[in-house]
Structure 1
Amino acid sequence: MFGIEHIAASFNIAYNLNVVSIETADEFMAPVNNIVQINNNDHPPKYKVTIVGSGNWGSVASKLIASNTLKLSSFHDEVKMWVFEETLPSGEKLTDVINQTNENVKYLPGIKLGHNVVADPDLENAVRDANMLVFVTPHQFMEGICKKLIGKIRSDAQAISLIKGMEVKKEGPCMISTLISQQLGVNCCVLMGANIANEIAVEKFSEATVGFRGNREIAENWVQLFSTPYFMVSACQDVEGVELCGTLKNIVAIAAGFVDGLDMGNNTKAAIMRIGLREMKAFSKLLFSSVKDSTFFESCGVADLITTCLGGRNRKCAEAFAKNGGKRSFDELEAEMLQGQKLQGVSTAKEVYEVLKHKGWLEMFPLFTTVHEICTGRLPPTAIVEYSEHAPKFPIALNPDTFQ
């Protein structure tokens, strides 16, 4: 029986042997062991980390990062975490409780974050001294957050986004990492993967992918900051591909939830996931020709799709929606079932639908289109499989090689 230590050890051996590099990986099968080794300089820079966001995933990220800043000489011990202030039923402020108990009692109860995590309700104060910014908030809030931070961050700051979603503007879709880079003038990587936060919080083995553009050294810093024996992080030079995988899988998870709610069975769910993966790949490549096939075989791709369709909150809420025949809105279900967390799949489906409609691609993406129309009440939940009867209308069904 192999434990986490054995798995981690095998990963480390593979890294040290440099068996496969990112550049030489087979086009269709990305390497599992592609974390780049960090070069330790005699006088490494001291990095200060701030996490912008304190929900379920943001709190787990703070736990991962705080454990590493204590061990790594190139990082300051303290990790700031910006908290959108809330008053708890007890009358206490959430920030005060986090700092007193070292626990986010609302979004991650029962888990200690690390004594070096400091919650701060003042956004500008939280980021003031940081040169490594971790963004992990619902994507619909990011434009407002970025506007508040313009001119307020260090000139040498670098960022990473753990956010799934996109902004749709008149000129076209804008990925969250692009929004951060453009508004704040920083290099922004992304981290996505098969990461159900509560499982990572209790240190169950998981993987993630850091997507980066051109600066390998920056990617190495992020890999080092997040990696633990139970959370293995690899790097992939494909920001758009990694980010779109993390974004689009939530739409497919909504579809999987409809299937579960209607008790359609595992065969149907597997079919929906396969069609969804195909549409994820096709949509990504139409938006960004640079997206790599190999990215879809990383943790951010097929692995994240599987875990989200099996156990994520988007699937859970969509299941409840279908069981009620679409009579209860997603806003109502979100408020009742997620305890303050945000549902990303419904808003992402709307944003993707707007892109498809604007570009005349609706018939090329029947699953994405159908999910949005069910969410908005135009179609019943049972339509999630009925669209396949009209498959000959859709080029993607007729010609699987269209987007390869």
Structure 2
Amino acid sequence: MASLRLEPPPPPPPSYHFLTASTSSSATQLHPRRRLPTYNLSLQVQKFPTNSRYVLCSSSSTSINAPSDGVEPQSSPPDEPTIPPEEGSKDSRKVVRVAWEKLVRWSRSWRSKAKTDILERTKKVVVLGGGSFGTAMAAHVAERKAQLEVNMLVRDPQVCRSINDKHCNCKYFANHQLPENVIATTDAKAALLDADFCFHAVPVQFSSAFLEEVAASVDPGLPFISLSKGLELNTLRMMSQIIPKALKNPRQPFIVLSGPSFALELMNKLPTAMVVASKDKKMANAVQQLLASKTMRISTSSDVTGVEIAGALKNVLAIAAGIVEGLNLGNNSMAALVAQGCSEIRWLATKMGAKSTTLTGLSGSGDIMLTCFVNLSRNRTVGVRLGSGENLDDILSSMNQVAEGVSTAGAVITLAQKYKVKMPVLTAVARIIDNELTPTKAVYELMSLPQVEEV
């Protein structure tokens, strides 16, 4: 009769002993005073730092647990955990290198399969509006293909001559050279004739009147890519509603382009990422092909409402962020205000049918961060000057560009009432703009709101 003698554990710390048996016999629970049946066992002892415990394990992962006082038997423990490589070690660097190489291979494979037929087939693009962003987009598209004709429809004859004679927009980018295939005109019919795509860069509040004037020259199948952000006063309409209404064509193809993008940085060819949204997936993919380049990433979306409403409301929030800066309220206040503003935008947008994921993407959080925190933002600049004590009329008269948030603020509050959403921060901005509340008083009232659960 063979017996199994178990060695007692070493002095503290206590150890956990595993005895591995190379046998196919069924497991038998051990007891300190119970004799074992006869087996030919090959035993291997492994120690683990835990309470003193004896466990007999077969090579087929069958285990025998010897419980200590009052403790129920346990199943066999898992295999020893794999210890990750130490940071900075050769193994960790290899993991990082392999992951990066996989990403690069995937990127190359994707680029090799990416379609370029849209760009190859496109012969003419028209940009409506000669402002900073319209000019930057015209330059970007023109550089995609030298044979592409890019027409800019502008109102100012001086800007028109500057673009055609000096290849620069003397009003906004006097020091930036435009590609030679960018041509300016004041003739709507000539600009729109045979165009394959149309970029709409006219400010929202002037869009209806402008489009009604040129409607007769617009082909009913011409895709309109909206660069304008905001809500139309009184009607509360977004560009997806304004364009087909003004053109008297409910089927006019519509795409919205949005995301964190300053015109100056586009002109400087700095890396930029944006999103195109359309209910027509093929149309969104076509615009993606037209615009995507080494310096511009273009994502696609079907959430037109989410992209548009985020683009409109972030301008109002940027004014609030500027006011905090102008009042020197500090970084804590800035972070709290922008976070609250993001929540308010999400509440309203989702009530209007937007996807919450859109609001955390490029056209949502991305655009909000850029507009609220960077000095190049027109709307933030308005807020800073309001917080510093300047009069709104003086601020607007001194600017050569439109700050859409000023006009949009009142429309946002009307929308909030329509959808029964409370928006304290954006409402405060609207009251400041209407001269019904001073920035300092607005801060006091916001801080005095009831303490509620975060949602």
Query: TM class, shorter-chain normalised?
Result: 0.7 to 0.9
Is the partner of 1:246 in helix, strand or coil? Answer: helix
Inter-partner Cα distance in structure 2 for 1:278 and 1:10 = 37
Tell me the equivalent position of 2:365.
302
Inter-partner Cα distance in structure 1 for 2:332 and 2:445 = 16
Map 1:47-126 onto structure 2 (within 5 A): 47-70=123-146, 77-86=148-157, 93-126=158-191
* Aligned residues between the structures: 349
Contact 1:178/1:188, CA 8 A, preserved across alignment: no
> Among 123, 128, 132, which residue is 2:197 paired with?
132
1:182-231 residue CA offsets vs partner (Å, 9 max, x unmatched): 33321111011111111121112111111111x22211221122222122
Tell me the equivalent position of 1:180.
243
Letter in 1 for 2:141: I
1:47 is displaced (CA, Å) by 4.5
Inter-partner Cα distance in structure 1 for 2:435 and 2:425 = 15
Inter-partner Cα distance in structure 2 for 1:355 and 1:59 = 32
> Among 280, 284, 307, which residue is 1:242 paired with?
307
Tell me the equivalent position of 1:220.
285
1:106 is displaced (CA, Å) by 0.7
> Are 2:425 and 1:367 equivalent residues in the alignment?
yes
Asked which structure has the greater RCO (Cα within 8 Å, sep 6+), the reply is 1
TM-score, normalising length from structure 2? 0.71
* Structure with bigger gyration radius: 2
1:387 is displaced (CA, Å) by 3.1
Tell me the equivalent position of 2:436.
378
Contact 1:190/1:239, CA 8 A, preserved across alignment: yes
Inter-partner Cα distance in structure 2 for 1:293 and 1:37 = 29
1:10 is displaced (CA, Å) by 9.5
Contact 2:323/2:383, CA 8 A, preserved across alignment: yes
Question: Against the structure 1 CA distance between its residues 79 and 259, is the aligned structure 2 distance closer, same or farther, given a 3 Å change threshold?
Answer: same
Tell me the equivalent position of 1:354.
414
Question: Against the structure 1 CA distance between its residues 221 and 398, is the aligned structure 2 distance closer, same or farther, given a 3 Å change threshold?
Answer: same
Is the partner of 1:151 in helix, strand or coil? Answer: helix
Tell me the equivalent position of 1:286.
351
Contact 1:209/1:233, CA 8 A, preserved across alignment: yes
1:400 is displaced (CA, Å) by 4.5
Letter in 1 for 2:149: E
Is the partner of 1:130 in helix, strand or coil? Answer: coil
Letter in 1 for 2:416: L
Is the partner of 1:377 in helix, strand or coil? Answer: coil
Flag structure 1 segments of 5+ consecutive residues without an equivalent: 1-8, 19-32, 71-75, 87-92
Contact 1:50/1:133, CA 8 A, preserved across alignment: yes
1:345 is displaced (CA, Å) by 0.9
Question: Against the structure 1 CA distance between its residues 60 and 39, is the aligned structure 2 distance closer, same or farther, given a 3 Å change threshold?
Answer: closer
Inter-partner Cα distance in structure 2 for 1:353 and 1:321 = 20
Inter-partner Cα distance in structure 2 for 1:285 and 1:222 = 26
Inter-partner Cα distance in structure 2 for 1:366 and 1:178 = 27
CA RMSD across the alignment: 2.5
Inter-partner Cα distance in structure 1 for 2:103 and 2:184 = 34
Tell me the equivalent position of 2:92.
none
Letter in 1 for 2:359: F
TM-score, normalising length from structure 1? 0.80
Question: Against the structure 1 CA distance between its residues 103 and 13, is the aligned structure 2 distance closer, same or farther, given a 3 Å change threshold?
Answer: farther
Contact 2:233/2:407, CA 8 A, preserved across alignment: no
